[in-house]
Structure formats: structure tokens, C-alpha cells
Amino acid sequence: MKVIVDAFGGDNAPLEILKGSVDAQNELGVDIVLCGKTQEIQKCAKENNIDISKMEIIDAPDVVEMNAPPTDIVKGGANSSMAIGLKALANGQGDAFVSAGSTGSLVMGATFFVKRIKGVRRAALATIMPSDTGAFILLDCGANTECTPEMLSSFALMGSTYMSKVLNVNNPRVGLANIGTEEIKGGELQQNAYQLIKSEGKVNFVGNIEARQVPLGDADVVVCDGFTGNILLKTYEGVAKLILTNIKNVFTKNIFTKLSALFVKGGIDSFKKKMDYTEFGGAPLMGISKPVIKAHGSSNAKAFKNAIRQAVNYSQQGVIATIAGNLPK
């Protein structure tokens, strides 16, 4: 298994990317192909005592800026580490591609260079998130601001395949994110998607799910357009940050609260680990014909290593082949 890594994507590139890649190589036994400015990669590795001697490097002179218009990657950005990495994936120089760079550019580049699975209308960014009862997959999280019912139906199938193949969930419950549970709720998109997913009968559709029930674990797959998914995902992150920071402050107030912290530290830490989405690794770009994983832009070494693990699982569990086999012809 060979994973191609965008060494110049994300806020902490290339240092944390290199560290995470070495950890993945050692822990997961994967081969790594680094993509980016060769000299800078070698310099960074040397200065930080990171042993990249067993890694291949594909030179890429440019870098995709985080705020570049997505279309740049197929124009002026075609020599960026992201574009060259995606082309290497398309050419079979590796089995999967991982980048912490711009989401928009990655969606555009993967669609253009690697292509979609035949029958998939749009790729979706799928995030695996913690819930009270385990984990759920949310898609789309921002690849497609506007969607059609057919797109949501294919997201349902893709998310269901992921949960069953990669996370071993038996007959995953698929919910449509909506503002009420009755089937007439929501706008035209939700109403039509509801009927389509139900009538196709390809997934275990549990109907509409209100956002309040999502973190509580009422569905294993939560389907929505990319705007809604992004709002849900980011609200989730923001509220978790707000509460966990405030709880932490309660414990650092005085000597008694600090002492109390000692006894509950184990419990709080294990809950925080449960809530830590970096544990789940990156977000697969589902619907692309080869495994492309988006790591969080602010990934540190650990998060990036987990994104590589995600790439390995996604690749080895045959998710893409299963999706391709289940799509309407």
C-alpha cells in the first residue's frame, strides 16, 4: 500500500506533514510518496531529524494557496504539490492521496485529474464525527453548496457503504438532515430527496433527522447538501470548543478545584478523546474513483497520521468498488 502525501497542504506544512507521514510509515507499515518542493522537504527533514530516507519524493514547484479560487488547480496551479500528487494517483504511482490543503481546490482537482466513479454526479466531502453512541458519517460537508435530490441519494448510498465497510456498522441507519421529522418538512430539496431515497430502497433509510438528534447518535449516516453539512459540522466544533474550554476553566480556579481535577481527569480525558474528531482521521472525498482524503487544515502530526490511516482503511475495505457496484446504471 502506497500513500501519496501533499507535503505542502495545510497550516502546518511541511513539518507536521512530514512527522505524521513518518509516524504512519512506522506504525501502519505503509509506503509514503511525498509531493512538493524537494529541497525544502529535505531541508525541513534534516533540521528536525526526521528520517525520510525510505520515502519517495515527487517534485512539485508550486503550492496551492488556501484562498485560491478552486479552478486555479486546473489552470495556473497545475504544478502545485496538490495537482501533481493527484495526477500521480491517477497514473497509478500510489494507491491513495492525502492533503490538508484547500477543500475547494481538492474537490476540483480530484474531479478533474482523478475523475468520479461512473454514475456519481458529484463528489462529497464526508466527515466522520463522534456521537454519544459511537460515530456517524456526515456528507456532504462542503464540496457542493447546492445539491439535487439525486445527489443526496448518491450521498446516502456512499455514506452507508462507508459505515458498513470501514466502521463495520451493520445495516447503517441513514437519516436526512431536516428541520422536522415529518416527511413534508424542509424545502423542495429535502422533500424530493426524502421520496427518492425512500423509493429507491438501497439504504436503511430512517427518514428525516433533526439536527438536535445528530450528536445524540440517532443515525449512522447523515445526508445533506454541503451548505447544511458545513453549518452542522462547524456548529458542532464551535459548541464543543466553547463548553470544553469553559469546563477546563472551572477546574483551574483554585487549589481545591485543581485537586478535584486529579480525580476526574481520567474520565474527562477519555470523554475528550471520544469527542476528538482528529482521532477519526481525515474526510474521504467520496465519489472519486480512487481514494482521496482531506485532512483538517490545521492538522498536526497526529491528525495527519490518522488521515493516512483513514486512506489505508478506505482503500483496503473496497469502499469505492462497492459504491460503483451499487449505483444506478
List interacting residues with its own copies (CB under 8 A): 67, 131-132, 142, 145-146, 177, 179, 182, 186-187, 210-216, 226-228, 230-247, 249-251, 253, 256-257, 259-264, 267-268, 271, 274-275
C-alpha cell at 215: 450528536
Closest approach of its own copies to the CB of residue 86, in Å: 22
Closest approach of its own copies to the CB of residue 318, in Å: 32
Cβ closer to its own copies: 28 or 261? 261
Cβ closer to its own copies: 112 or 251? 251
Cβ closer to its own copies: 36 or 226? 226
d(CA 285, CA 33): 19
Closest approach of its own copies to the CB of residue 104, in Å: 9
Cβ closer to its own copies: 61 or 134? 134
Closest approach of its own copies to the CB of residue 182, in Å: 7
Cβ closer to its own copies: 114 or 128? 128
Cβ closer to its own copies: 68 or 90? 68
Closest approach of its own copies to the CB of residue 175, in Å: 13
Closest approach of its own copies to the CB of residue 286, in Å: 18
